[in-house]
Amino acid sequence: MRRNRNVKVVATLGPASSTREVIRDLFEAGADVFRLNMSHGTQDDIRERHRLIREIELELERPIAILADLQGPKLRCGTFANGRETLEIGARFRFDMDEAEGTTERVRLPHPEIFKALAPGATLLVNDGKMRFKVLECDGTSAETEVMVGGEISDRKGVNVPDVILPLAALSKKDLSDLEFACKLGIDWLALSFVQRAEDVEEARALVGDRALIISKIEKPAAVQNFESILAASDGIMVARGDLGVELPVESLPPIQKRLVRGCRAVGKPVIVATQMLESMITSPVPTRAEVSDVAQAIYEGADAVMLSGESAAGQYPVEAVRTMNNVAESVESDSIYRQVIEASRSAKHGSTSDAITAAAREVAETTDVRAIACFTHSGTTAQMVSRERPRVPILALTPILSTSRRLCLVWGLHCAKTDEVDRFKHAVILAARIARGAGFATEDDRIIVTAGVPFNVSGTTNILRIAPVREKAIFEGEPE
């Protein structure tokens, strides 16, 4: 089950991919992480999918990461007496708190926090940005607007407010319930929707504790503006281009994506590029050329993972979509230009002993004939720092902690394995050599790099780098205790 690529594939589970057979097929086709979308399905549905993933993980003896994605606060307008209305450009239209059904002149917007934050000149977007309204006047309970982009408005369409930071609770009542449910279930990563500021992440962190790592979804203009502080507070980032593309000009997305990916790489935190990557494969067995180029671009940028949403959750060709993503990744990473791009965009920021060791491991791997870098890690930090270097050889992330091995499945280039506890460096080298041989990364005639920290099983102590023979007899003869 060794992958022939470094970038990871995240596949969302849903109605089209909820059976044991399909989930296993998705994993074998290339899925490294399974996303459970808390916006769709009941908690019982989520529990069953989680159970199946863990059973498949046990059967295949390979760790699998599970990411639970919270819905976040959803802003929607009310209903219309006729179900829908058509609004013309230049018409006046009011959003208010009145419970009466909507007409061509007004509709209920049951979110007083929006009205408190609005100011004349602000923009309201409805139905994924297809309709645009300019605020003329507003108070605490209503907003008088002018229709800037008209069209059909219907019941319970989503509303976006791109110009202001809304005073919304970061976690809705549903989110609080889903968060506790997911953490008790044993998920590895928790994705927060509609993050606007670092405080949103810190609020979730206080509830999650060490039960899961937190991914912040960047899908609001405010999140782009506050990216550095959000990144510092988060364990990972998702570039969620759906709502981001609604609230910002679409032409701004490519440079934003590049900037966010590079920022994550600089600090060694995983970044997922998501939304509409192979959208046409919901109904087609093959993607468009533009979609393939989009996936390839994220890989060239050095993203840790690329994600499928509706393609694997509700599409007609979920396994084919994962296989396509896998094949595109293998093709891109075999291109010589890929290495040039990755190495040209590598960050040079290093400060600690661990930074120096992991940077040295990459440099040694590029200048000597070694087949892999094996890093022993407790919390996962060492493995992530080696990944940050984007070395040319495979990285073995070896840890005695099952939860760590699962979480690291999201990180670029890491081939994760749960190992026995080790207390001496020679034992670590022997174990690393056995795993490298057994997984097909090296033969007995090869050498590998082994990094570890002494004392063992203490986070943040990486202080040893050794070029070691894979042949076990040579290890016993030549390696110190």
Any residues with CB less than 8 A from the CB of 462 and at least 6 apart, and which?
353, 354, 357, 358, 375, 382, 385, 451, 452, 453
State the CB neighbour count (10 A cutoff) for residue 318. Answer: 28
Judge contact between 421 and 452, C-beta under 8 A.
no
Give CA angle at 462 (458, 464), nearest 5°. 125
Question: Does 94 participate in catalysis according to the annotation?
Answer: no
Q: Which of 5, 8, 24, 35 is catalytic?
A: 35
Question: Does 104 participate in catalysis according to the annotation?
Answer: no
- Which pair of tokens denotes residue 432? 């690393």
Find the farthest-apart pair of alpha carbons in the chain and give their distance in angstroms, rounded: 86
Q: In which residue are the tokens 């369409």 written?
A: 157
What residues form DSSP beta bridges with 158? Answer: 76
Question: Does 47 participate in catalysis according to the annotation?
Answer: no
- Which pair of tokens denotes residue 262? 């590079």
**Cα(36)–Cα(189) distance, integer angstroms:** 10
Q: What is the DSSP string of 286-352?
A: S--HHHHHHHHHHHHTT-SEEEESHHHHT-S-HHHHHHHHHHHHHHHHTSHHHHHHHHHT------S
- Which pair of tokens denotes residue 293? 């180029």
Question: Does 382 participate in catalysis according to the annotation?
Answer: no
State the CB neighbour count (10 A cutoff) for residue 144. Answer: 17
Which strand ranges, in their side-by-side order, compose the sheet holding 373-376? Answer: 414-418, 395-399, 373-376, 447-453, 462-469
Judge contact between 112 and 83, C-beta under 8 A.
no
Alpha-carbon distances of 175 from 172, 178, 446, rounded to whole Å: 5, 5, 50
Of the chain, the end-to-end C-alpha distance in Å amounts to 33
**3-class DSSP state of 154:** strand
Judge contact between 213 and 233, C-beta under 8 A.
no
Q: Which of 24, 62, 217, 388 is catalytic?
A: 217
- Which residue numbers are catalytic? 35, 76, 217, 275
